[in-house]
A = this chain, B = another copy of it.
Amino acid sequence: MSLFLPLTILATGKALPSRCVLSSELDLQLGKPRGHVQKRSGMVQRYYARDDECQSDLAARALQDALARADLRPGSIDLLLSASGVQEQALPATASRILDVAGLPDGTPGFDIAASCLSFLAALHVAASLLNTGSYKRIAVVASDLASRGIDWGCAEASLIFGDGAAAAIVERGDGASGIESYLLHTYPAGKALCEIRAGGTRRNPRVGVEPSDFLFRMDGKGVFKMAAGVIDEVLERLLAQAGVGLDAIQTIVPHQASHLGMRHMVQRLKVAPGKIIDIYATHGNQVAASIPTALHEAFVTGRAGPGSRIMMFGTAAGLSVGGMVVRL
């Protein structure tokens, strides 16, 4: 199905928690030789929220950054979509908590869209549909994740990949010259337990039993790699075929910053020049759902995305989901 969905990205913004943690600090914390964490993780630094910093505040700061960059009034937003991988609390929706600190007018509707690390893409596609049916005029999509709250320091594989952060995009329908040229999301639920945090809802809960470890992120890295490798080529091929373009027609690739090896593997698989891919992994890590919009913001501020260019956002997510979007800016 080929389908052009008009959409204009008016502004993007980002926010990071106050605490920047160098890999050398983690060497000390983990009792490892100097250079171990940087070599192992591929990261120089990442940001972790302090205990008194919260996800909704970070989200609001990213939204305010986007508003300020395009000189837009908070009151001009008529819907807020919170697109985080993990929410701030079980109830109510994180969107309510963001609205409370973001300075949007009382009554502005907000709800959450969650598709793990692909939440931003799912929400951006929903936003485009809502704008094209005339339901709203201007929508803010905000992704904010504090992965540090669930890091299992006893797990060498998963503990070193994450960083915290938030990013936002403010979108309108536009005049139809720019928009989504293709979008795909595929979910392979046989992989539902490959990446997970078991607590946080009705499954592992004080009433029916929960262990402290259930609050930590668990990953079967090899399992994810194997499952994703089996479907990723087909999804990429279909994504480009739907857009009716080849990879050479994409100016910039904005991937989910999954991991050091994941990023390297993508460069090899796509056979494109590394400079064509937004790679902020070494300084940000995997920021869960905030990764793609943070990388998108990076593409804009570094001039690698702009009016008339074509970008492809792409990634895998817990679930297991694989998805992407080709956008003509």
Contact = CB atoms under 8 A, between A and B. Distances in A.
Contacts of A149: 202, 205, 207-208
A55 interface: yes
Given A100-B190, A111-B122, A188-B106, A200 B55 contact: no
Nearest to A82: B114
Contacts of A196: 89, 91-92
A193 to B, nearest CB: 9
Contacts of A108: 186-187
A8 interface: no
Give the copy number: 2
A111 B89 CA distance: 18
B54 A202 contact: yes
A19 interface: no
Contact of A113 (B113, B206, B318): B113
Given A126-B126, A202-B54, A93 B115 contact: yes
Interface of A: 1, 3, 5, 51, 54-55, 80, 85-97, 99-100, 106-116, 118-119, 122, 125-126, 128-130, 132-135, 145-146, 148-150, 183-190, 192, 195-209, 212, 215, 217, 231, 317-321, 323
